[in-house]
Structure 1
């Protein structure tokens, strides 16, 4: 399986960094080769161009940017992270959701 690059976007990039580390632990436990990182919405365009992620996942607090990111990242899936999984920092569920969306495209 090729390495998956998963980009999380939130308003400041802070709350999501905890989720990133939980997702990385889940990926290691499942034997998934993944580069998972978080960025602030203000820097998302730069990161999109620089990292070419396989999926872009938005934190619930920036869900209003969904349409704008779908246009910018037309060739990859763009999803909003489930609010409950985000609140519980459920890295495993968010990772599974990301991989499902990547495989479905």
Structure 2
């Protein structure tokens, strides 16, 4: 599963990504080998979107939500704006859960639309 964290410069997002990796590697149900996590500036999203399953948007750039949606929606890729409180606490567990839920909802939506 490829998860892209979109941010401004990447420092705090890299910290979040490290928190998410720790949660995944400590999990009994998830395998880190099944995940590809990338932190990129939001402007790079169009060139990095291939193969992405979920885009996570850092709260400090939630104002770029429309841009992110313009890139993800045509490709049926869900995105989640990480809540400020979750991001501030570097709560990787909640962020991983949100990403998995968003991806599952998109899978179900695609199945209902005829498997697109």
Fold similarity call, TM over 0.5: yes
> Aligned residues, how many?
100
- Is 1:12–2:9 an aligned residue pair? yes
Q: Any stretches of 5+ residues in structure 1 without a counterpart? A: none
1:42 aligns with 2:39: no
Could you list the runs of 4 or more consecutive aligned residues of structure 1 that deviate by over 4 angstroms after TM superposition?
A: none
Contact 1:66 1:79 in 2 (8 A): no
* Stretch of structure 1 that moved more, 40-49 or 80-89: 40-49
Q: RMSD in angstroms over aligned alpha carbons?
A: 1.2
Give the TM-score of the pair, scaled to structure 2: 0.80
Higher-Rg structure is 2
For residues 45-87 of structure 1, the C-alpha deviation after alignment (integer angstroms, 9 at most, x for no partner) is 22114xx210111000110111121121111101101111100
